[in-house]
Structure 1
Amino acid sequence: MPNTRQAAKRMRRDAKRRERNRYHLSRMRTYIRKFRKMVQEGKLEEAKAFLPEVISIIYHTASKGVIHKNEAARRASRVTQLLNKALAQASQNLGK
């Protein structure tokens, strides 16, 4: 239990922020998970259309201060790389 009024206020504020951060982080992870599943299942056109939305959510999470901007850039780069790799592999398989 907090001993001072300031400590009590800080606890309330931290609880609100923690909840807000968890929401944004969970939302971002869910979108990334959905995207990865689409790519894994071979729904590449669907994933291609979904990619801008995923990247937008990632950068939105960074803008809220939940993750660092460099982490957002890294995550966005990795999901883009994943799609590009899958598309290249699919086109290579069609060429055979």
Structure 2
Amino acid sequence: MANIKSAKKRIKVIKTKTLRNKIIKSSLKTTIKKFLAAVESGNVEEAKVSFTATVKALDMAASKGVIHKNKASRNKSKLALKLNKLTA
């Protein structure tokens, strides 16, 4: 356990940030799964709506620093390919 006041504060701050990051990552995974489920079912309209929500969630997570911007870009590209394959 930390003895210095600033170290104690850092422990508290890290706990809250870790919790926030877990929540954002979990919701991100959920939106991706919803999109993939829509693609699997072949529902184009639902997939398009879900795709925009997923892209928004990826961008938000990248802007908050939860995931790296290149990972967000890579995931968006991968999901866009699946959507394009479905609509083609």
TM-score range (shorter-chain normalised) is over 0.9
1:1-96 alignment runs, 5 A limit? 1-88=1-88
The superposition leaves residues 55-95 of structure 1 with CA deviations (integer Å, 9 ceiling, x where unpaired) of 0111011010101111111111111111111222xxxxxxx
Q: SS of 1:85's equivalent?
A: helix
**CA distance in structure 2 between the partners assigned to 1:21 and 1:76 by the alignment:** 19
Number of aligned residues? 88
- Residue 91 of structure 1 is matched in structure 2 by none
Give TM-score, length-normalised by structure 1. Answer: 0.85
State the percentage of identical aligned residues: 39
Runs of 4+ in 1 over 4 A off after TM superposition: none
Give TM-score, length-normalised by structure 2. Answer: 0.92
**CA distance in structure 1 between the partners assigned to 2:21 and 2:51 by the alignment:** 22
**CA distance in structure 1 between the partners assigned to 2:78 and 2:58 by the alignment:** 11
2:35–2:54 CA contact under 8 A, matched in 1: yes
**CA distance in structure 1 between the partners assigned to 2:48 and 2:74 by the alignment:** 18
- Structure 2: 5+ residue runs without aligned partners? none
